Structure 1
Amino acid sequence: MDFALPETALAVQEGVRAIGARYDHAYWSRLEEEHRFPWEAWRDLAAGGWLGLTVPEEYGGGGQGLLELAVACETLAASGGTGGIFLYILTPGFGATTLARHGTEAQRAQILPGVASGDTQFCMALTEPDAGSDALRIRTRAVRDGADFLITGQKIWISGLENADWMVAITRTVPAAEATPRTSGFTLFLVDVKEAVAAGTLRYTPIPKMGSNVVTSSQVFLDAVRVPAENVIGEVDRGFSVLWDVLNPERVLAAAGGVGTADAALDVAVRYAKERTVFGRPIGSNQAIQFPLAQIKAKAELARLMTYKAAWLFDQGLPCQTETTIAKLTGAQVGWEAANQAFQTFGGMAYSKEYPVERLFRDSRIAKNIPVAEELVLAHIGTQVLGLPRSY
């Protein structure tokens, strides 16, 4: 059993860390205030090849796996770019990783070179107003119309749509009430976002939100969006297994982002605890400050190991749903705990936007709810791992 990161992952870590050093906390806080996408960081990451890591080499990418992508996401977050986690989840995760596994040759040739160069962006549309955690109940329909499909429905909390060229849209080609088993009748499509917006069949409304405003999250309306049959990802009616190859990387990358957030929060908290003097000594010498930070450091290392294990299992083509779920749970928890403890370490100054703590606090909190709620994660562990009776 080898716990050392492979050379490929170490190279990613070094490369992304060098780029992250150019974009400090002040940069990310300024963009958060302006509700502006981090184009400068995006272009530098693309130029270094750090966005196309999972794009096969024949399409201009790195030909690497989810482990390397998770390391990149973690490293960017640790540099202070906690909102930048979405840069890795949306396009390299939903786009490159999905197409590398399940795209047709034509789909990969058309789209992946643009992903590798940073010219193409993705979003993914699964969640609906009445179907969040219960994804089996989605109602967005795709109906055959000659050589095409027409997609009609409503999605919510779809992040990154404003810059997306392509959407991975999860639909029902068989209504939930008619599907046997319930996991049948799912079909995933590549939707040309700009084409659908121009045609007036796709509309979206940004949702005002508490944090992570470097990308928007929107309510989306699809009104007979025309999609050619060649844009199906995988097979018609048999997309549920493909969907898991979208969701498992999302959970791993969210976990990596949580671990990186914990690193970022610990860094600012430890530096402040060394510098801030009260009653004639640094506050970091007080066990009330020191011990919680030390506890979080231990939890961060445990969550990091679980994240790497889940990514490795995915790359090996092995079952990994439980591991990605546990990684997401622990990564989100330690990211939030670290930001919360950093807030406490700074005392009243944490409330000031002079410091990045308030942004870390806001960015980290949502991770306990997305991409899957903590309670549902625990229910999965209870029923699927421990064998306890279902509660839902």
Structure 2
Amino acid sequence: MDRASVPQEYGGGGQGMLELAVACETLAASGGTAGIFLYILTPGFGAMTLARHGTAEQEAILPGVATGDVQFCLALTEPDAGSDALEITTAARRDGSDFLLHGQKVWISGIENADWMIAVTRTTPAAEAQPRTSGFTLFLVDVTEALAAGTLTYTPIPKLGGNVVTSSQVWLDDVRVPASRVLGEVDRGFEVLWDVLNPERILAAAGGVGSAEALLRVACDYARERRVFGRPIGANQAVQFPLAQIEAETELARLMTCKAAWLFDQGLPCGTETNVAKLTGAQVAWEAADRAFQVFGGMAYSKEFPVERLFRDARIGKNIPVAEELVLAHIGTQVLGLPRSY
């Protein structure tokens, strides 16, 4: 899976976002949304970003990604800058031919297995940046090197669900990074960041679609087998119709995800489509989880069945990688032309 999005000249499959989305949907359908974060981290954040924006020196990392020996994570979110990424304060300052990175990140997934971290920093403080999207710089941080130097530390966060991947608080205490590891250009990192965030939203949407498939499968199996009042509960329209509705919504979310992925692969504007895909994928996953819980009744609470785990894993999709309220605000302002509220 890691090699899918690596260009063929580096030993990879040379696949695009559409193929990666289909693969993530299939993986999620086999066990739920949580697992796909393993594949967002390296193929999505790492391979695609390096293939699109890396220098020849940076692209030398890609053969290791293709063999599965190299793993990535992304460090963007901060305690006071979640959905509003423009407010990040992690700073990078020049020190000779290097940069020193200092700040705190939170909800950073997969750092315990990562060889490289894409760190999003401010090289110009937000108060001085004009426009506000300027002043960002992305760096490739050698995680092993920084841990050994004691300038990078992290602490795992106990979570309700999504425990296939650990999420951590991360502290950067003057992590030294050579200027050769800048992704894109200094102060113009937001252009690169969008090529990180759009894939994340597309693959999260694909995970939601796959999770809905998994939940529908277990709910329908149970509805066929469980008999009450002399017949399978799935024969009752009160059980059957909501499941049929979710099936229809899953198909629509899948189509939106494929459209967003195709536009991304063509290099066309896809911001609205990726947001709509993420919104609908997350919503149908949660609706499927809620309905499956109802179909199983009290047995949904039992760890004998996968519903309780899928239920816990599905809920976070409405909040990450972007809160659905911000997606709706984007649609309201950018598509419908309504005034901004933020």
Q: TM-score range by the shorter chain?
A: over 0.9
Deviations 1:204-238 (A, max 9, x none): 11111100111110111000000000100000111
Is 2:132 the counterpart of 1:214?
no
Aligned match of 1:61 in 1, 6, 12?
12
1:331 alignment partner in structure 2: 281
Normalised TM-score (structure 1): 0.87
Is 2:104 the counterpart of 1:154?
yes
2:56 alignment partner in structure 1: 105
Paired residue type of 2:89 = R
Paired residue type of 2:107 = W
Deviations 1:249-301 (A, max 9, x none): 00000000000000000000000000000000000000010000000000000
2:79 alignment partner in structure 1: 129
Counterpart-to-counterpart distance in 2, 1:130 and 1:81: 30
Unaligned 5+ segments in structure 1 are 1-49
| CA displacement at 1:201 relative to structure 2 | 0.3
Q: Number of residues paired by the alignment?
A: 342
Matching of residues 169-208 of structure 1 within 5 Å: 169-208=119-158
Counterpart-to-counterpart distance in 2, 1:89 and 1:57: 19
Give % identity: 81
Normalised TM-score (structure 2): 0.99
1:253 alignment partner in structure 2: 203
Tell me: higher relative CO, structure 1 or 2? Use CA pairs within 8 A at least 6 residues apart: 2
Paired residue type of 2:54 = G
SS in 1 for 2:328: helix
Aligned match of 1:238 in 182, 188, 195?
188
Paired residue type of 1:167 = M
Counterpart-to-counterpart distance in 2, 1:53 and 1:206: 29
2:43 alignment partner in structure 1: 92
RMSD: 0.6
SS in 2 for 1:366: helix
2:25 alignment partner in structure 1: 74
Unaligned 5+ segments in structure 2 are none
Counterpart-to-counterpart distance in 2, 1:207 and 1:253: 23
Aligned match of 1:294 in 225, 244, 250?
244
Paired residue type of 1:61 = G
Counterpart-to-counterpart distance in 2, 1:347 and 1:116: 44
Is 2:308 the counterpart of 1:354?
no
1:364 alignment partner in structure 2: 314
Counterpart-to-counterpart distance in 1, 2:32 and 2:278: 18
| CA displacement at 1:81 relative to structure 2 | 4.3
Counterpart-to-counterpart distance in 2, 1:306 and 1:190: 32
SS in 1 for 2:223: helix
